Structure 1
Amino acid sequence: MPKKSFFELEFPIHSSPSLLYQYISTPSGLSEWFADNVNSRGELFTFIWDDSEEQAKLLSKKSGERVKFRWLDDEDDPYFFELRIVVDEITKDVSLMVGDFAEEDETEEAKMLWENQIGSLKHVIGSV
């Protein structure tokens, strides 16, 4: 099985951390930008796009700060993706840090996918 490597991206977002957290941690928030529809039952989140469906387990969350998911397909692997809100102590600027894993030859593609997704998020929040 090909080894995946971790990468992290930072996106400045003009939003309050509490509003941003709603968009990254709730099924209704995630369905506005991440997938066409999102359902959850406890720690199990189902992400629906057009005609495909993926399930992820919520590994951890810290209110107002971060969420961490693992795709069920990767359940036997240590891979996850994390959305973390960072507030600059001095400027109070808000950024969303995205941490994810991708196979070496797919890293650029994965980063572009996240850039598109976060572009949708910014559009929904009105942070364009």
Structure 2
Amino acid sequence: MPLSATRRKHRFTVEFPVNASPKILYPYLASASGLSQWFCQDVRIDEDHRFNFIWDNQPHYAEMNSHRTNRSVRFVFLDANKRHTPDANFLDFSLEESQLTQEVYVRVMDYSEETDEEELQEMWEGLAQKLREQVGG
């Protein structure tokens, strides 16, 4: 692929406190039913165990690339043919607990073509609020 045809990727990281334990939060980050309650329109798992994230009635397939129970999960997005691509978009959710304050933080790393920091910040703040409402925190 010619260099001019490649799209630049952007790594956006945001962290927000959620008043809930990692044990309560983790299913909201790592399961289709949990994610569909706050993250997007719907999330389904297909017969090959791929996650189908639905935004604006459009499917976006991803594989759970790695996970550590009650700690972190990473979704790597696939192309329209449900295949891996080099330098694929991914979403990384990790749960951090402050030893000092006992506060729990959700850290999100969003790696995609979206480069508008302000738009990403607003979007994730809205999603964080929806997550807090779901877990009561």
Smaller-chain TM-score range?
0.7 to 0.9
The structure-2 alpha-carbon separation of the partners of 1:121 and 1:77, relative to structure 1 and needing over 3 Å to count, comes to same
Instruction: Note if contact 2:18-2:132 (Cα within 8 Å) is conserved in structure 1.
Output: yes
Unaligned runs of 5+ in 1: none
**Which ranges of structure 2 fall in alignment gaps of 5 or more residues?**
1-5
Structure 2: distance between partners of 1:52 and 1:78: 18
Tell me which residue corresponds to 2:95: 85
1:54 maps onto 2:64 in alignment = no
Change (3 A) 1:2 1:118: same
**One-letter amino acid of the structure 2 residue matched with residue 53 of structure 1:** P
Structure-1 separation of matches of 2:10 and 2:57: 28
More strand as a share of residues: 1
| TM-score computed with the length of structure 1 as normaliser | 0.87
Q: How many residues align?
A: 127
Instruction: Give the equivalent residue in structure 1 for 2:3.
Output: none
Do the aligned partners of 1:3 and 1:104 also contact (CA within 8 Å) in 2?
Answer: no
Q: Output the amino acid matched with 2:78.
A: L
Amino acid corresponding to residue 31 of structure 1 in structure 2: S
Structure 1 contact 45–55 (Cα < 8 Å) conserved: yes
SS at match of 2:38: coil
- When the two chains are superposed, the root-mean-square deviation of aligned CA atoms in Å is 1.9
**How does the TM-score come out when normalised to structure 2?**
0.82
Aligned residue identity for 1:64: N
Deviations 1:77-103 (Å, cap 9, x if unpaired)?
A: 143210000001122110000111244
Q: Percent identity?
A: 33
Given candidates 99, 107, 110, the residue that maps to 1:100 is: 110
CA contact (8 A) 1:43 1:59 kept: no
Tell me what 2:29 maps to: 24
Structure 1 residues 50, 101: closer, same or farther in 2, change over 3 A?
closer
How far apart, CA to CA, are the structure 2 residues paired with 1:27 and 1:100? Answer: 18
- CA distance in 2 between counterparts of 1:83 and 1:105 reads 19
Residue matched to 1:120: 130
Larger radius of gyration between Structure 1 and Structure 2: 2
Q: Give the CA deviation at 1:104.
A: 7.0
